[in-house]
Amino acid sequence: MQPLFTIHAGEYLVGSHIEQELRDKDGNKFNVWVPSKDTGIDLLVTNHNNSKVVSIQVKFSKDFLVTHGRPEYQKKLISCGWWTLNRNKIHESPADFWVFVLHTFNQTNRQYVIIPPKQLSEILNELHPNVKSLQTYLWVTASKKCWETRGLKKKETDLIVDDNYRGNDKRNFSDFLNNWKRVIDKLT
C-alpha cells in the first residue's frame, strides 16, 4: 500500500520547530504550509495574517557521531551530519533558505543550519571546486560552533573539536547555526 501523503522527517522537524518556537516581534506565531508538488521547496512559511512568505528547502541527516565519530570526539561534538548535494540544484534553487537538520540522539538538542542557497553555493564552490556531486559534513561542537569538515585531515578536525581551528573561515557555519533571524526578518 502506498501512502497518499507524507512528508519526510526533516520537513516535519523544521515545520514543528517553526510553529512551536518562532514568533514575530508581537509574539504572533508563523504558519507552515506543505506544497502539494515538489518544486524544490519543501515548506512555505507565512506570517500570522499570511501576507508575507518564505520558502524553505529542508535537508535532513541522521547523526553520524555515534556510528562513525571517533571515540575521543564523542563528548566534544553535539552532532555530525552528512549530505550529498547537487551543485546545480543549489545554484538554481527557488527556495529563500535551505535548512539542514542535524538530528541528535538527544531530542532536546536538535540543530539547524539556516542558509540562503546562493550563499551556500558560493561557500561550497570555494571549499569543493570541480566536483559535480558535493558531499558535505557539518559538525556542531559542544561549544555551539558549526564547521564544514569534508576533506579535512585528522589534525584539523582535532583542532575544530578543541576550538582551536584557524583554517579557512569559509568552513565556519556558526553564523547559520540555529539562526532563524533572517527567516523571521523576512516575515515581519
Question: What pLDDT tens digit does each residue of the chain (188 aa) get?
Answer: 455 567 889 999 999 999 999 999 999 999 999 998 889 999 999 999 999 999 999 999 877 766 666 778 888 999 899 999 999 999 999 999 999 999 876 656 899 999 999 999 999 999 999 887 799 999 999 999 999 999 999 999 999 999 999 988 999 999 999 999 999 999 99
pLDDT at 32: 98
Encoded amino acid at 153, one letter? K
150 neighbors 168 (Cβ within 8 angstroms): no
Q: Is the dihedral of CA 88, 91, 97, 103 positive or negative?
A: positive
Q: Would you state the pLDDT for residue 106?
A: 60
Nearest to 70 by CA among 173, 162, 170, 135: 162
Q: Which residues contact 59 (CB under 8 A, 6 or more apart)?
A: 10, 83, 85, 98, 99, 100, 101
Q: What is the pLDDT of residue 53?
A: 98
Whole-angstrom Cα distance, residue 33 to residue 47? 11
Residue 60 in grid coordinates: 535532513
pTM: 0.93
pLDDT at 7: 85
